[in-house]
Every structure is written in structure tokens, then in C-alpha cells.
Amino acid sequence: MSTMQTNFDMGSVVTKDLITLDLQATDKLGVIEELTDLLVAHGDVSDRQGFIDDVIKREGEGFTGLGQGVAIPHGKSKAVANTTIAIGLSKHPIPWETLDGEPITVIILFAVRDTDANTLHIKLLQKVAILLSDDEFIGALHEIQSKDELIALLRKEPEGE
């Protein structure tokens, strides 16, 4: 299957419709709702509230704030039609439970279809984890000015791969 190749292309999963560079929300729930609206509009989530409830339930199981201003909330849900991610950047810090205790400005929301729990979901998480372990990537992420720039950054292969 092409989704299992080593050089998984994040740019083929994330489209401009699933990115907002100016989140309006000022708290965790608002951010999750705002990014879910992108997923609903794109046809990736069929039940808005059902998906939000699943993400909030998962939030209760442990921190999704990684630190360095980044959080990766996610929901595995029957409400998800297509496994994908939505990305939101905020011009203001958002309070979030994080490993470093600092607020966040970059949110990568994973929407995972129940049946994809072992395939595409793992590839997406793996790729994001590799990217987020690169300090240069995180620095660049906080400087993003356009959706095209963000997609290009996601396509970049980390050093050493």
C-alpha cells in the first residue's frame, strides 16, 4: 500500500482547506471546535459534535501538549469519514496542558477513522513525531506566513532520513 512507504508525503494529506493561520479561539475547546469545522466543511468528519466529544474524551486521558508551543489533540471516531489532520496556528498563546507548562500556538488535530487505527493513523503520527523532534522544524513552524509555506514545510524530510 502506498501509505506505508517510508517517505510518507504529508503534503498529500493536508490541503489548504484543512489549515488556518489565524485561529480565533482562545481556549482548548474553542480550538478543537474551530479545527473540527474545517474537517466537517472538507467532508472528513460527518458528525461534528460526536467527533468533538471523542477528542475531548481523549484529552482527558493524557497531555497532548508536547511543549515548544505545539499540541497534537486527536480523536479516533466513527464520526470520521477520512483519516487526516487539520492544522491551526494562533497569533495569541492558548492555555493547554503541556509537558513544559507553556501555552501553545500550533495545533495539529488528528481525525482518525475507527477502521484506520492501525494504518494511515500510525503513519501520520509517525511522520508528525519525526518532524516535531526536529528543533529547526518547530522553529520554522512558528514562523509560517502562508498555507503553501506550511505544506512545503510538512513535505520536508527531516535531516538523517
Q: What is the pLDDT of residues 58-70, one digit of tens each?
A: 999 988 999 999 9
pTM exceeds cut of 0.85: yes
Domains and CATH numbers, the chain: 13-155 (3.40.930.10)
Q: Residue 59: name the closest of 84, 80, 33, 78 by CA.
A: 33
Q: Residue 22: name the closest of 85, 98, 106 by CA.
A: 106
Average pLDDT over residues 100-118: 86
Whole-number pLDDT of residue 157: 65
